[in-house]
């Protein structure tokens, strides 16, 4: 007859314990630890245009730093690269957008700006975003809010944005369109 203490020692050896753990853990390996995606990524990019009111500090700084004479009301033209990367069943979406713009074309100028916003959009089309703003005047923060109206696959946003920097505040109203793809 075999020695019972020897059998117990053999069953509790490290190699046996690892093999048993792996055999029992195999069903767990079949499960994903990453939660499933609630939605697929949606591209909502499209043209943007609008008007921006510059504060006196912005106008003065452009004259001082860039030797540019600018009226306080300037045009904006650009493209919004928007990605929706999360949406729940209630219609709330989380999105990220890059908005490069060229301003002042009506004054014979081409003042570039770049905005990156992260934000949310509700099922009713209300939206809010915040992020950095880069212009020839320096770096600032932009906060935007608005609404997007849907007509079939066509989306028409209307946004109000305030950008702040050391030289002052800029207030913009923007619109455009995009198509759901």
Cβ-count burial 112-124 (b if 16+ within 10 Å, e if not) = ebebbbebebeee
Quickly state the pLDDT bin for 118 (edges 50, 70, 90).
very high
For the chain, domain boundaries? 1-31, 42-179
Using the predicted structure, report yes or no on whether residue 33 has a pLDDT greater than 60. no
% pLDDT > 70, the chain: 77
Q: In this predicted structure, what is the pLDDT of residue 87?
A: 84
pTM: 0.74
Q: What is the mean pLDDT of residues 28-45?
A: 60
Listed residue (118, 121, 116, 139) closest to 129, CA to CA: 118
Q: In this predicted structure, what is the pLDDT of residue 84?
A: 84
Q: Which long-range contacts (CB under 8 A, 24 or more apart) does 127-133 make?
A: 127/157, 127/159, 129/95, 129/97, 133/163, 133/165
Using the predicted structure, report yes or no on whether residue 70 has a pLDDT greater than 60. yes
Listed residue (97, 90, 92, 85) closest to 157, CA to CA: 97
H or E stretch including 23? helix 14-29
Using the predicted structure, report yes or no on whether residue 42 has a pLDDT greater than 80. no
Q: In this predicted structure, what is the pLDDT of residue 91?
A: 84
User: How many Å apart are CA 38 and CA 4, to the nearest integer?
Assistant: 55
Angle at Cα 147 formed by Cα 133 and Cα 77, nearest 5°?
Answer: 45
User: How many Å apart are CA 128 and CA 94, to the nearest integer?
Assistant: 10
Dump pLDDT digits (tens) for 167-181: 999 999 999 998 876
Q: What is the mean pLDDT of residues 47-72?
A: 95
CATH dotted code for 42-179: 2.40.160
What torsion do the CA atoms of 6, 7, 12, 16 make, to the nearest 10 degrees? 120
Dump pLDDT digits (tens) for 132-144: 999 988 899 999 9
């Amino acid at each position: 007859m075999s020695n019972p203490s020897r059998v117990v020692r053999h069953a509790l050896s490290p190699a046996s314990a690892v093999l048993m753990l792996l055999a029992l853990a195999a069903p767990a390996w079949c499960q994903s630890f990453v939660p499933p995606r609630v939605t697929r990524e949606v591209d909502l990019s499209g043209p943007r245009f609008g008007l921006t009111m510059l504060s006196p500090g912005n106008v003065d700084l452009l004259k001082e730093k860039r030797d540019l004479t600018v009226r306080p009301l300037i045009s904006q033209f650009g493209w919004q690269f928007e990605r929706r990367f999360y949406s729940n069943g209630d219609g709330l979406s989380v999105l990220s957008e890059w908005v490069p713009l060229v301003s002042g074309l009506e004054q014979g100028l081409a003042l570039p700006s770049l905005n990156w916003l992260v934000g949310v959009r509700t099922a009713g089309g209300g939206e809010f975003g915040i992020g950095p703003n880069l212009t020839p005047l320096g770096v600032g923060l932009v906060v935007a809010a608005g609404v997007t109206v849907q007509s079939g696959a066509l989306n028409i946003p209307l946004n109000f944005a305030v950008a702040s920097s050391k030289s002052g505040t800029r207030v913009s109203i923007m619109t455009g369109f995009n198509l759901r793809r």
